[in-house]
Amino acid sequence: MAANNLGELLRASCSKWGDEPAFLVRSKHGFEPVSYATLWQRATAYAAALRALGVARGDRVAIQSENCPEWAQADWACQLLGAILVPIYPTLPPDQSQYIVADSEAKLLLAGSDEQTAKHAAGRPAEILQLLEGEDSLDARAQQLLGSLTDADVEEAIRGTLPGDPATIIYTSGTTGAPKGAILAHEGFTSLMEAIVGSLPIDHNDRFLSFLPMSHVYERVAGQILPISCGATIGFAGSLRSLPSDMKAVQPTVMLCVPRFLESIRDKVVDKASKAPLVRRKLFNLAKDQLVKRYRGKPAPLAGLMDVLVGAKVRELTGGKLRFFVSGGAALPTHVSEFFMAFGMPMLQGYGLTETTAATCINHPDDNHPDTVGPPIAGVEVRIADDGEILVRGKSRMIGYWNLPEETAQAIDSDGWFHTGDIGVFEGPYLKITDRKKDILVLGNGKNVAPQPIENKLKESPLIAEAVLFGDGMDCVCALIVPDFDALTQAAAEHGLAPAPPEQLIELDAVKQLIKREIDAVNKTLANFELVKKHRLLSATFSIEGGELTPTLKVRRKVVKEKYADVLADLLG
């Protein structure tokens, strides 16, 4: 039976798994365990510190920090008190950070560093407290107040939180417009935990490695709350730079990831193999060929041997114990999924949004349909509207948008269905996402083009890092292409071209022909009205700081269109 609230869920897990490791925390001595009993002690100490600072039930507490165990402890402390945590991406600039604090009317801001504190120099909340260090930090306050919150106090606080009460307000990064705060209830989290643990093979023997932003609903739900709900262990990666060594040290059995992370691993493995001595290079290429054939169900007589000689070494890059990846946040390109599946690392694609508490559908290791996002999770209703839009209903659906009644009414209809803005179809019980409703391109001839499938096909090319399609009101589909400059430089060298900066490289006729060949190959698979007939190469990569990517690394089509308006105008001229 699901817990009534997140505080109750934490108490039950800490009581059941007491001496087992809840966290693995990076230190100079390696990764050191923190038991469930210690997690409970620290969460209640943090709760005592927050209460001493005047935080009460229903108050908003903002947090802006990189991932760390203290982030999770502060979150659990809020859930014990019935306070509402408001996470802010650590990469957001000052104006957006201040907007979230002001809009949510946060009583307190927990900042992970001086850099994060400095973002709030103007428009400060009632109080800012360092999360990690210094005398005036949450950790220091907690140490001073250790034990001041009695068991009876904690029990009373937990009992006072109802299942439908808000647990968090998470501001959607959005691809357009100002962020909106989605209010998520305790029962949304707890009902999903019960359903997921009841269906996916995850238990207290599993190890997770936390490296995605905890400020995002995906990592918060599936990488923090889910492991705690079933007694599993969470290892905290030091940084993206230390991630390769952290994977080998923690040896995770389950890893949450986004497609860009997986593409990066695949590209690095392939690139390293391409630069290896001839014998090793040929061995890797043979292994890839045989293992992919076996995965596709084709004859591959050397696949078993290749798996032992090469596949095992590739798996060692993730620690060697991985049972499966769970990919979310964006569409997973088929060639990336196929690569990992072929090398013995199952890839489960799932689907969800901030407004649906992250988890709506997910594949199962024993019934995996990698070209879909799997069937709906138990207790979550999903249907397809007449216009193809995916609608979601259930306890995990948000309460609404913070202080935005009109936007809430637009998003949630009178029957309680949340309109996701995604387009999809059911293939049997399995949901397949085909595009974003707002992204559908309407050509001048009235034809509708779904850009994402075409963009994903283009990005399967090793020479193309990003592809953004446009076509509204135009006579054909056109694209802005960001090359993968490392791969492009190597390909150019093979054609006798000297290395050059990106802005010079994209002007070379030979380079233009290389990219055009990739686009032409994709065009052969498309309907006539979908053909990418015009394109331009861009010399600058997309980034969060540049505004082209959201914090979850989705392309902001509107921003790209505005930023490169002159390029598009020239392209269409």
Q: In a structure prediction context, what are the per-residue pLDDT tens digits for the chain, which is 573 residues long? A: 679 999 999 999 999 999 999 999 988 888 999 999 999 999 999 999 999 999 999 999 999 999 999 999 999 999 999 999 999 999 888 888 899 999 999 999 999 999 999 999 876 666 899 998 777 899 998 988 888 899 999 999 999 999 999 999 999 865 445 789 999 999 999 999 999 987 789 999 999 999 988 998 999 999 999 999 999 999 999 888 899 999 999 999 999 988 878 888 888 898 889 889 999 999 999 999 999 999 999 999 999 999 999 999 999 999 999 999 999 877 787 888 899 999 999 999 999 999 999 999 999 999 999 889 999 999 999 999 999 999 999 999 999 999 999 999 999 999 999 999 888 999 999 999 887 777 788 787 767 788 888 998 999 898 999 999 998 878 889 999 999 998 888 888 888 888 889 999 999 998 999 999 999 999 998 878 889 999 999 999 998 888 888 877 788 888 898 899 999 888 876
Distance CA 299, CA 79 (A): 54
For residue 30, what are its two tokens? 């390696």
Contacts 24+ apart (CB under 8 A), 539-545: 539/501, 539/502, 539/503, 539/505, 539/506, 540/482, 540/502, 541/465, 541/466, 541/482, 541/485, 542/466, 542/482, 544/91, 545/91
Note whether 207 and 65 are within 8 A (CB).
no
For residue 163, what are its two tokens? 């299942």
- Give 217's contacts (C-beta < 8 A, 6+ positions apart): 170, 184, 352, 353, 354, 357, 358
Note whether 40 and 228 are within 8 A (CB).
no
- The vertex-215 CA angle with 351 and 322, nearest 5°, equals 55
pTM, two decimal places: 0.84
User: Strand, coil or helix: what is 22?
Assistant: strand
- The vertex-529 CA angle with 525 and 530, nearest 5°, equals 50
- Give 30's contacts (C-beta < 8 A, 6+ positions apart): 249
